[in-house]
Amino acid sequence: MQIRPGSMYPLGSTFDGAGVNFALYSSAATRVELCLFDDNNRETRIEITECNTFVWHVYIVGIQPGQRYGYRVYGAYDPDSGLRCDPSKLLLDPYAKAIEGMIDSDASLFSYDITKPDDPDARNTEDSAAHTMKSVVINPFFDWGNDRHPQIAYHDSVIYEAHVRGMTNLNEEVPPEIRGTYAGLAHPSVVKYLKDLGITALELMPVHQFINDSFLQAKGLSNYWGYNTIGFFAPHNAYSSSGQRGEQVNEFKSMVRAYHDAGIEIILDVVYNHTAEGNNMGPTLSFKGIDNRSYYRLVDGNERHYFDTTGTGNSLLMRSPHTLQLIMDSLRYWVSEMHVDGFRFDLAATLARQFSEVDKLSAFFDIIQQDPVISHVKLIAEPWDIGSGGYQVGGFPPLWSEWNGMYRDTVRDFWRSQPSKLPEFASRIMGSSDLYRADGRRPVASINFITAHDGFTMNDLVSYNDKHNEANGEDNRDGDNNNRSWNCGVEGPTDVTDVNELRAQQMRNFISTMMVSQGIPMLDGGDEIMRTQQGNNNAYCQDNPISWTHWDLDERRQQLHDFTQKMIHLRLRHPVLHRRKFFDAEAEGNNAPQVEWFDHTGSVMDQEDWDNTNALTLMVFLNGHAIPEADVNGNQIKDNDFILIFNAYYEPMMFRLPGEKYGRKWRLLVDTHDQFSPELAFEANFGIMAQARSFMLLVSDEGDISGTTHQVQEIKVIEKPQDDQDNSSAPDTGAETSSPTEQAEGSEK
């Protein structure tokens, strides 16, 4: 081999056509060896003699893509001082662009003797090379053609959260050999399905290289979700269909290119808050053996142990410039080289902990704000962790959107008829201005979701009162107990027609509410076709049909899909349903306010109405002629006016439409009680019956309906009710209600 000094930048392994430059940061090392492995797993060790500002570097002529390698780092092993250098452990390159293999549960992976758990100082110097993963040199060159970022505006976005494996593993339209892979996800039938559904952004659960935890392997389970990252630059190798070393990189790029061709963005769920090495009892795989004190947050005064706000054993040290550099280099790589369009940050509150408290002005956010690449892609925070003060919904900087947990909880409670305050529900569907407006953010700061990967699916949300996580092997102790779910009277699957119809209606209520709410809707993959996890609300370890999406659609599942598709396209066609700015109740257009709130009698709500904690009904007027926004040509955006009717009461309710000031004629577009109902016509002040637990959407029927392409099935004029009959069949919204369970039990009987 011809060995040259090489360069300290860029970090990682870089192929230039003639050879490879290797660079590794470690301030703890006294000596570093680069270890190269041939096809027979024979190891060649090369001592790196060049070190500049703690970056160890070497260039080797002739090394080609596909070369496997790792590092051995020599230095102090003193856990009490936070030092854990251990040259008996082969270490992954933190900047590896591809990784081969998977760890097993062999004792050699641990720097302490696992047979002596009571003696933490008992060393284990067994060589781990045969039992750990190896870094791989990649060829960075790829023909992107004319690929470009779709750059879909936030307010025009509809996000679909999916799992690479679970999305296609049971999809018979995808060839068997590529199901559950990046290539399977890029299959034309899958891309077309999402495009036809109306999805603008596919948010993928973790695709950074992660490990399969040994404690799960011992139970015959695996880490399905992937929130256990070990390689921040490497696409997870198990999602590659080729099986060839390093080909997961090109396969991932091809997938991104396929979605960009369809105008769909790719957003990655990224885990920069911790790594897979766990706490002081975890294995030594990479960071721990390279420079433990630079990468991990240790307990002050007890540096053997790790400060953990993630529940996984460790947290990355967010005040370390080298940790921040690692994260920023990773983000920039995925945008510049892999062409992704944004990121959802897992447990993002941990990223804000520069010290012990959550600080939205921490160095991490400052760096993101000024970065010319990262600041221009979509940034979404999961705004909480398990540490003190970790629930930070509404607390992130202006550049960020957030998973709005308050939206999820409020909408779930409303549709299961729980006493609540209408002002909060109103705020949530209007973009949560109480959370985001004060710091200059807009409705798109709110990612509105009902369900996500963590918790019940939407089908399970309306089918189970309690979690059923027995398959996880933890005696049903894992997972959240407070699901805000309602089984509609029967726990789990049932043949009772009334219960199944109510469940389908509730799912339509949830989907409709999301699609008419200001902000960005996010659909959990498979919810549109009634995906179930059999009541498991923590299926992180279920890489099997419990978690996978089943694509054999019966009539009920197809109907929900069609309804979801209708609601998404309705939202996308009408700008008043996804405004860029918050509604201003004081501003008017066409002699009517931008938004107005009514009770079921058609009267504008007063303070007493808003303070009624038992109220379960609401009627909202949205003024499409008063949108203070311009299109790309500078023309003011105009849309139709809409009326939203929410009835979470357990009996039908008569609603009197507003007076002519708000519109003379209305057409019923959506009724979740009957998704096949004809488009009926109504006039101002007329009465319209909203069935129990239903949502109705009416559009102004004066002039053309913006973007509407479907034909009206039937037009009927409903006679105006007499004053003395106006609400004869509708109980007062403040009346005491029976519980959801009691109501459903009556239906079952």
Asked whether the beta carbons of 323 and 239 are under 8 A apart, the reply is no
Angle at 508 between CA 505 and CA 513, to 5 degrees: 130
Round to whole Å and give the CA distance between 126 and 115: 13
Contact 401, 444 (CB under 8 A): yes
CB 638 within 8 A of CB 703: no
Of 295, 281, 182, which is closest to residue 241 (Cα–Cα)? 182
Q: What are phi and psi of 534, to 5 degrees?
A: 60, 35
Phi, psi angle pair for 700, to nearest 5°: -60, 130
Is 402 among the catalytic positions? no
In 3D, which of 554, 531, 569, 545 has the Cα closest to residue 706? 569
Catalytic residue among 86, 100, 269, 346: 346
For residues 500 and 701, what is the distance between their CA atoms, to the nearest angstrom?
34
Q: Pseudo-torsion of CA 595, 597, 601, 606, nearest 10°? A: -130
Q: Is 196 a catalytic residue?
A: no
Question: Which residues fall within 8 angstroms of residue 238, CB to CB, at 6 or more apart?
Answer: 102, 165
Angle at the Cα of 413 from the Cα atoms of 411 and 415, rounded to 5 degrees: 70
Between the alpha carbon of residue 431 and those of residues 119, 192, 401, 530, 699, the distances in Å are 55, 30, 12, 26, 21
Q: Which of 269, 382, 402, 527 is catalytic?
A: 382
Smallest CA-to-CA distance from 501 within 661, 693, 302 is with 693
Question: What residue has token string 């931008």?
Answer: 594
Apex 526 CA angle, 522 and 527, nearest 5: 60
Select from 413, 558, 545 the least CA-distant residue to 486.
Answer: 413
The Cα 663–Cα 160 span in angstroms is: 35
The residues annotated as belonging to the active site are 346, 382
